[in-house]
Amino acid sequence: MIALTLIIAALGVGVAMWIASPLAKGAMSPMQRLAALGIMALLAVGALGIYLVGGQPGLEGQPYAATEARLAAIPPEELTGEEQEERLRTIVRREPGNPEALALLGRFLALDGRHLEAIAMLERSLRVQEDARVFSDLGQALVNLNEGTVTPEAERAFAAAMELDASLPEPAFFMGAAAYDAGDREAALGYWAGIVGRLPPDDPFRSAIAVRAADLLSRPAGGPQMMDPQDIDPDEGPDAMVSRMVAGLEAGLEADGSDVTRWMVLARVRAVLEDRDGAREAIAQARARSGGDAGVGAILDALARAGQLDRQPEGENE
């Protein structure tokens, strides 16, 4: 049984690559690459427990006992993809109501690119037992199926995962990504700051999400409050254009300074113009408007580090 347990653990590592490999290789959007951090270790540990929970080593011989014995005799690293899949399907055939086995098979199928089959298995698992991690896996399978787009179906899966376990980083990250893509920066900040504030300081997801949120939310999006596209002079130099953008931002924030993300944009643009004091002041204003929110503070810290505003270079006036 030790060999069989090792096989299931090895399958978990392979299945974990379903999420990690496309994100790490850049096959999907840059935002989704964050979800690869730490996921392999998490799923590997979970997979190791599947046999302990769902397996029944004391049972007498079963129809697929010979296949199981053959696979158990093979070192885990030498199993082919077909053999890994057969091992998982054997467990599902023997225990069709085992939600852990169904979920692991769904992840394996997703790793193999069979997203529709994967979604079906994950949904079967959820019909037996609702689980936050499986809802999150389902959402990510739907994102993969739709080439990186967070569809309404994926949003529902992520929302269900968050309702069951608000500490999971992936659902909040993807919900924030959906809000950002829809143009709702304040909602995106709410999702990202919320999960960043809940994660422990040493969690790799915390810093990764904070860095990505700082980068995206500080990017100028255009609009009438910054610069009316109809007023752009094609003969105008880039410096003059950026200066007008700053003026538009400042005027908008003077009228309503409650939007933290607009202060972030102003900080970035001022930093580009080498107005470091002005950039620091914009970040300070964003902190004040956030009411001391820990998650927002971590994102602003990441923005300051990206612009090298968190330290005073030698020779720069205070």
- Token pair listed for 44: 């590997």
Residue 143 and residue 102 share a domain:
yes
C-alpha to C-alpha distance for 147 and 86, rounded to whole angstroms: 28
Residue 105 and residue 66 share a domain? yes
Domain boundary among 154, 182, 210: 182
Residues 170 and 306 in one domain: no
- The conformational region for residue 114 under phi > 0 = left, psi -120 to 50 = alpha, else beta, is beta
**Residues 69 and 218 both lie in one domain:** no
Residue 39 near residue 103, CB atoms below 8 Å: no
Per-residue pLDDT, 200? 94
Q: What is the pLDDT of residue 203?
A: 95
CATH of the domain at 49: 1.25.40.10
| Domain contains 187 | no
13/46 Cα distance (integer angstroms) = 10
- Annotate 84-125 with three-state secondary structure: HHHHHHHHHHHCCCCHHHHHHHHHHHHHCCCHHHHHHHHHHH
pLDDT, position 25: 42
Return the pLDDT at 241: 74
Boundary-marking domain end, from 123, 149, 182: 182
Do residue 62 and residue 165 come from a single domain? Answer: yes
Q: Closest Cα to residue 173, out of 270, 35, 47, 13?
A: 35
Has this prediction a pTM greater than 0.85?
no
Q: What is the CATH number of the domain that holds 258?
A: 1.25.40
Opening angle at CA 239, ends 233 and 241, nearest 5: 35
The reply to whether 234 falls in a domain is yes
Half-sphere exposure (Cβ direction) of 163: Cα atoms closer than 13 Å: 8
**Which of 135, 156, 182 is the endpoint of a domain?**
182
- 69 located within any domain: yes
Q: Do 266 and 293 share a structural domain? A: yes
Q: Is 214 exposed, middle or buried (0-12, 13-18, 19+ CB in 10 A)?
A: buried
Give the domain extent around 261: 192-318
Whether residues 97 and 176 fall in one domain: yes
Flag whether 55 is in a domain. Answer: yes
Same domain assignment for residues 223 and 277: yes
Q: Are residues 145 and 23 in the same domain?
A: yes
pLDDT for position 5: 46
Q: Are 265 and 286 in contact, with CB atoms under 8 Å apart?
A: no
Residue-level pLDDT at 314: 55
The whole-number pLDDT of residue 316 equals 54
Give the 3-state secondary structure of residue 227: strand
218 and 303 in a single domain? The answer is: yes
Q: Name the stretches of the chain with pLDDT < 70.
A: 1-65, 67, 72, 76, 222-239, 311-318
Question: Do 169 and 232 fall within a single domain?
Answer: no
Contact 226, 236 (CB under 8 A): no
**Cα–Cα distance, 56 to 65 (Å, whole number):** 12
Contact between residue 19 and residue 36 where contact means Cβ atoms under 8 Å apart: yes
Q: Which of 61-83 are b and which e, b meaning 16 or more Cβ less than 10 Å from the residue's Cβ?
A: eeebeeebeebbeeebeebeeeb
How many distinct structural domains can be found in the chain?
2
Distance (Å, rounded) from C-alpha 169 to C-alpha 132?
Answer: 11
